[in-house]
């Protein structure tokens, strides 16, 4: 029976054939242990000299790391194995012999591994992270589809810059100037006026000269946008969504979390509601914690976010930031117009801001005024202003950074390991 490593549990004590690669190998004169991987998982194949034809044992002993093969054997239950199974190998058919695979079981430096990202992806650790990433994407579609959201695809090539003009990737669009999308939000707002509740999911680009564990040049963002939804209701949807993701990873990625050594008790605590503090309260908290020189109107950096997050065992919303710190489209608070109806969601354990969101300005005149104040070209935003001209309604939305969320839930220190081929400052290869 041809099957996969993930499915072997269905064939206990039966003979199966699996297409696989050699992840690692150990052998003595009488027995060889093949660490097999097939993309769906990892399993140990045991080849006993006395039980197989001579050529099979010889092949098992000489086979090199990352060689590909069809391996046939009997599935055995095995309590010591993380997956619960082992394969008693009976036959091996070599497909391709790999020579001098560069990533050996010894330790390698990060730059070396990054240069070999196309191969590094095959490791157990990267496999686990990619599985968790995929689960988060799948659970995102489930969450929003179950709540009546429509998936809306926003363009990558745009003429607008929702998150400020300093971090744009410029390109030519024939004779016009164009930019790579920083965010699908503005298009999602048009979508919300057509479909009520939408979410976009796609790559976004920031020409940011930041070299930190939280920054990528190209990252993927999930951006829900909701008509007739005000700030508070948006926060409720955000906390339910994030709690849903934490639960999905706990429910479906146990092997992967174990492989990564993730402390799952931390994830089990991630249940809605999440605490909310205003920017002003966050400032007081920071002063209590010894950040003496921070002033009202200053943005929070990583050390500030981490200090605030340490105060809570769940993600925390920081709401009502100074208007001067945030983009042009945010709705001023009703009680005072120097702060906006926005929130950043800060993940625990130092993983930083995973969501930025707000209620949007829905008054035509105010939005026009803000565009002008930010020196944004009105002609490029004509269509966006139109949304306030024809049946404008209160609406809110947010953007969740996929890689930071994967980093947090999987317990991965740096976002470079949470995307298949990271685009970083000074790295476009592979």
Nearer to ligand 4AD, 86 or 223 (CB): 223
- DSSP character for 2? B
Angle of CA points 39, 40, 44, to nearest 5°? 90
Partner interacting with residue 359 (select from Mg ion, ligand 4AD, none; CB below 5-8 Å by kind): none
61's tokens: 């002993």
In the complex with ligand 4AD, which residue's Cβ is closer, 66 or 189?
189
Which is closer to ligand 4AD, CB of 67 or CB of 181? 181
Helix (H) or strand (E) holding 238: helix 231-252
Both structure tokens of 24: 């690692």
Partner from ligand 4AD, Mg ion, none contacting 185, C-beta within 5 to 8 A by type = ligand 4AD
Which tokens is 350 given? Answer: 């130092």
Smallest distance, Mg ion to C-beta of residue 401, A: 9
Question: According to the binding rule CB under 5 A, does residue 356 interact with Mg ion?
Answer: yes
The backbone torsions φ and ψ at residue 109, rounded to the nearest 5 degrees and listed phi first, read -75, 160
Stretch that binds Mg ion, among 3-11, 260-268, 313-321, 350-358 (CB under 5 A): 350-358
Contact 65, 25 (CB under 8 A): yes
Taking residue 349's Cβ as centre, other Cβ atoms within 10 Å add up to 14
With 0-12 / 13-18 / 19 or more C-beta atoms within 10 angstroms meaning exposed / middle / buried, residue 82 is middle
Q: Interacting stretch for Mg ion, rule CB under 5 A, among 87-95, 348-356, 362-370, 405-413? A: 348-356
Answer with the entry of Mg ion, ligand 4AD, none that 357 interacts with (C-beta below 5 to 8 A by kind): ligand 4AD
C-beta of residue 262 within 8 angstroms of C-beta of residue 270? no
Q: Least separation, in Å, of the C-beta of 263 and ligand 4AD?
A: 22
73 contact choice in ligand 4AD, Mg ion, none (CB below 5 to 8 Å, kind-dependent): none
Which of ligand 4AD, Mg ion, none sits in contact with 163, Cβ below 5 to 8 A by type? Answer: ligand 4AD
Six-digit token string for 361: 């300005």
Stretch that binds Mg ion, among 4-12, 38-46, 230-238, 349-357 (CB under 5 A): 349-357
Work out the angle between the directed axes of helices 402-410 and 231-252 (0-180°, nearest 10): 50
Residues that bind ligand 4AD (CB under 6 A): 162-163, 183, 185, 206, 208, 215-216, 219, 221, 223, 353-357, 397-399, 401, 403-404, 415
Instruction: Give the nearer residue to Mg ion in terms of CB position, either 361 or 400.
Output: 400
Q: Which residues in this chain contact Mg ion in the complex, by CB under 5 A?
A: 356
């Amino acid at each position: 029976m041809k099957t996969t490593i993930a499915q072997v549990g269905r064939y206990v004590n039966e003979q199966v054939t699996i297409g696989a690669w050699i992840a690692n190998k150990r052998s003595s004169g009488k027995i060889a242990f093949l660490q097999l991987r097939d993309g769906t998982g990892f399993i140990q194949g045991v080849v006993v000299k006395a039980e197989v034809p001579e050529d099979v044992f010889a092949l098992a002993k000489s086979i090199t790391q990352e060689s590909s093969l069809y391996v046939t054997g009997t599935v055995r239950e095995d309590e010591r194995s993380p997956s619960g199974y082992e394969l008693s190998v009976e036959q091996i058919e070599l497909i391709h012999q790999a020579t001098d695979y560069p990533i050996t079981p010894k330790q390698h430096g990060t730059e070396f591994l990054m240069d070999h990202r196309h191969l590094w992806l095959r490791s157990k650790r990267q496999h686990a992270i990619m599985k968790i990433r995929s689960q988060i994407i799948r659970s995102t579609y489930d969450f929003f589809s179950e709540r009546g959201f429509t998936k809306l695809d926003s363009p990558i090539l745009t003429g607008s810059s929702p998150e400020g003009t300093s971090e744009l990737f410029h390109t030519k669009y024939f004779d016009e100037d164009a930019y790579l999308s920083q965010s699908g939000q503005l298009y999602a707002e048009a979508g919300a006026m057509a479909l009520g509740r939408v979410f976009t999911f796609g790559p976004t680009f920031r020409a940011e000269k930041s070299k930190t564990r939280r920054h990528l040049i190209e990252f993927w963002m999930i951006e829900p946008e909701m008509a007739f939804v005000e700030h508070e209701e948006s926060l409720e949807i955000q906390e339910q969504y994030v709690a849903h993701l934490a639960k999905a990873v706990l429910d479906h990625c146990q092997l992967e979390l174990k492989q990564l050594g993730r402390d799952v008790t931390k994830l089990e605590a991630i249940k809605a509601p999440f605490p909310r503090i205003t920017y002003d309260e966050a400032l007081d908290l920071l002063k209590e914690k010894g950040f003496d020189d921070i002033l009202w109107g200053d943005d929070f950096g990583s050390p500030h976010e981490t200090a605030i997050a340490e105060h809570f065992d769940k993600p925390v919303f920081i709401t009502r930031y100074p208007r001067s710190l945030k983009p042009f489209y945010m709705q001023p608070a009703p009680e005072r117009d120097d702060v906006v109806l926005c929130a950043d969601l800060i993940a625990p354990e130092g993983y930083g801001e995973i969501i930025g969101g707000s209620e949007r300005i829905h008054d035509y005149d105010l939005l026009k005024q803000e565009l002008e104040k930010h020196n944004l070209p009105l002609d490029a935003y004509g269509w966006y202003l139109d949304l306030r001209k024809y049946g404008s309604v209160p609406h809110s939305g947010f953007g969740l950074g996929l890689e930071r969320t994967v980093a947090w839930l999987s317990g991965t220190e740096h976002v470079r390991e949470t995307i298949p081929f990271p685009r970083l400052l000074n790295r476009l290869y592979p």
